[in-house]
């Protein structure tokens, strides 16, 4: 499909879409065991896109059984690494061939700008599948230095059946971050996409089958957390579970593991990322990137730079810059290339974000935004919002909002800046703006965050691990380190001679 360039062309392409609405188990689409369905709603207009099969415990049982059979028969788990690589490279190519369709699915399902989905999310998923595929036959086992008469081999082996639970803010990307290394390592997977955004995951499963992935190796069970998610977390035949989402739900998965088979649980959870700006920084560049860091994807980003910490000498300048940048991010139809933000994922989530904004009006100075908008029949749109001067104990400073809401605070010294930045239960990401290399290195050492971006925001790559500290979790996606979650080290010791 040729990439549309105008609003009308994107609307026409959307009208031609076919939505996959069944579970994907053992290589084919199937209804839920009890026949139930749930609506997948377009937040841009409130209309139902599709009635999707609602997976529950019985469906998780079916999917896990299929994944276990596929793992045990060895058609994937014992396949040569180079052969697995070829299948995943074909999948990457198929994603690229269907990039417009996949971008539209995510845009319609959760409200992200289709221009972001078609240039960042969908191509990024193809890239991540390709990168992990290319890594498969570059991971070497080890030989221990035992001496004559002994051969001790340390082998990296797949774990078995992986449960993956992913959020709605980057539906295709987050599924890929889990699936690419898990499948590359030889595991079978049961994926539960968020109930708000199941459509691209179901299409991805279909493409994986087309690429040659054997039946049962990838299963997709849309459903609700308290049904399908809980069943996956408690299942005794799941060997490990990878989760991206809220801290509260991450804690539930740890509990499920303890109550069942002590499965490994890898978490990437919430964030409240600080963005430190010093007077010697390029303030225009800092403001441009800070706007991306909080308004991109409607602020529905776990590592969003939602707390700007500014030296008091430049506080007024930076506040004015951020108000000007916010004006350029007014929300609109996500299928319109002229829009800079779309709606929030649901009306309910917009209610939550507005609750934070209402609290912020009592806690700080509202510089701009703060209003809810109704566009195209939907009231899930929220203006980009900037607050100044909130106390460190304020809700808008302490809690993850997951919306386009920025809080600006001031500091006098490096010590105060570090204290404010680290005064949070989270530790996912941080940004730091200065031309002083000594300061950059000195403070990056002290910022408690899984990633510290210097003179940019939210830097990531397939080559570097992504994950957090403290209550932001402890799993790592991306990079060669992602294989650590989905493999075990096995020692094989041979006496000879």
Q: Enumerate the active-site residues.
A: 268
The count of C-alpha atoms lying within 13 angstroms of the C-alpha of 139, restricted to the half-sphere facing its C-beta, is 27
Tell me 485's DSSP state: G
CB under 8 Å to 170, separation ≥6 — which residues? Answer: 106, 112, 121, 297
Alpha-carbon span 127 to 177, nearest angstrom: 11
Q: What is the dihedral of CA 120, 108, 10, 128, to 10 degrees?
A: 20
- Beta partners for 406? 386
In Å, how far are 148, 262, 411 from 490, measured between CA atoms?
Answer: 21, 19, 51
Alpha-carbon span 239 to 161, nearest angstrom: 5
Residue 142: CB atoms within 10 A of its CB come to: 12
Query: Is residue 481 classed as helix, strand or coil in its secondary structure?
Result: helix
Length of the chain as a residue count = 497
Residue 5: CB atoms within 10 A of its CB come to: 10
Q: Are 186 and 77 in contact (CB under 8 A)?
A: yes
Alpha-carbon span 324 to 305, nearest angstrom: 17
In Å, how far are 44, 87, 497 from 209, measured between CA atoms?
Answer: 31, 9, 47
Place of tokens 């030889």: 186
């Amino acid at each position: 499909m040729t990439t549309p360039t105008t609003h009308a062309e994107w609307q026409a392409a959307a009208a031609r879409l076919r939505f996959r609405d069944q579970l994907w188990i053992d290589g084919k689409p199937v209804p839920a065991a009890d026949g139930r369905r749930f609506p997948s709603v377009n937040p841009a207009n409130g209309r139902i896109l599709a009635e999707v099969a609602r997976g529950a415990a019985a469906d998780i049982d079916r999917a896990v059984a299929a994944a276990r059979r596929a793992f045990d028969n060895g058609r994937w788990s014992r396949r040569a690494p180079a052969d697995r690589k070829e299948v995943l490279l074909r999948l990457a190519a198929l994603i690229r061939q269907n990039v417009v369709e996949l971008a539209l699915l995510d845009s319609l399902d959760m409200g992200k700008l289709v221009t972001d989905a078609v240039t960042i999310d969908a191509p990024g998923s193809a890239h991540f599948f390709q990168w992990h595929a290319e890594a498969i036959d570059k991971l070497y086992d080890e030989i221990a230095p035992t001496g004559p008469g002994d051969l001790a081999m340390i082998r990296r082996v797949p774990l078995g059946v992986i449960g993956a639970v992913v959020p709605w803010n980057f539906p295709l990307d987050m599924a890929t971050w889990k699936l690419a290394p898990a499948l590359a390592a030889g595991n079978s997977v049961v994926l539960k996409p968020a109930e708000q955004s199941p459509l691209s995951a179901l299409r991805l499963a279909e493409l994986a089958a087309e690429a040659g992935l054997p039946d049962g190796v990838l299963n997709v069970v849309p459903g609700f957390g308290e049904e399908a998610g809980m069943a996956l977390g408690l299942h005794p035949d799941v060997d490990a579970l990878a989760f991206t989402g809220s801290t509260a739900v991450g804690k539930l998965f740890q509990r499920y593991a303890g109550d069942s088979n002590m499965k490994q649980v890898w978490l990437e959870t919430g964030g409240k990322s600080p963005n430190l700006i010093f007077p010697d920084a390029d303030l225009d560049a800092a403001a441009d990137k800070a706007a991306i860091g909080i308004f991109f994807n409607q602020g529905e980003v776990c590592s969003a730079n939602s707390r700007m910490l500014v030296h008091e000498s430049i506080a007024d300048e930076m506040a004015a810059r951020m108000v000007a940048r916010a004006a350029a991010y007014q929300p609109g139809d996500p299928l319109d290339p002229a829009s800079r933000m779309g709606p929030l994922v649901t009306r309910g989530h917009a209610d939550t974000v507005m609750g934070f904004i209402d609290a912020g009006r009592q806690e700080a100075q509202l510089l701009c935004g703060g209003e809810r908008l109704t566009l195209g029949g939907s009231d899930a749109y929220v203006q980009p919002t900037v607050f100044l001067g909130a106390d460190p104990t304020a809700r808008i400073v302490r809690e993850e909002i997951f919306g386009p809401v920025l809080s600006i605070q001031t500091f006098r010294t490096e010590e105060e800046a570090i204290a404010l930045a680290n005064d949070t239960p989270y530790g996912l990401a941080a940004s730091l703006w200065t031309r002083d290399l000594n300061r950059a290195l000195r403070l990056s050492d002290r910022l408690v965050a899984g990633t510290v971006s210097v003179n940019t925001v939210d830097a990531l790559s397939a080559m570097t691990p992504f994950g957090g500290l403290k209550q932001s979790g402890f799993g790592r996606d991306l990079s060669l380190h992602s294989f650590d979650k989905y493999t075990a080290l096995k020692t094989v010791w041979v006496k000879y001679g």
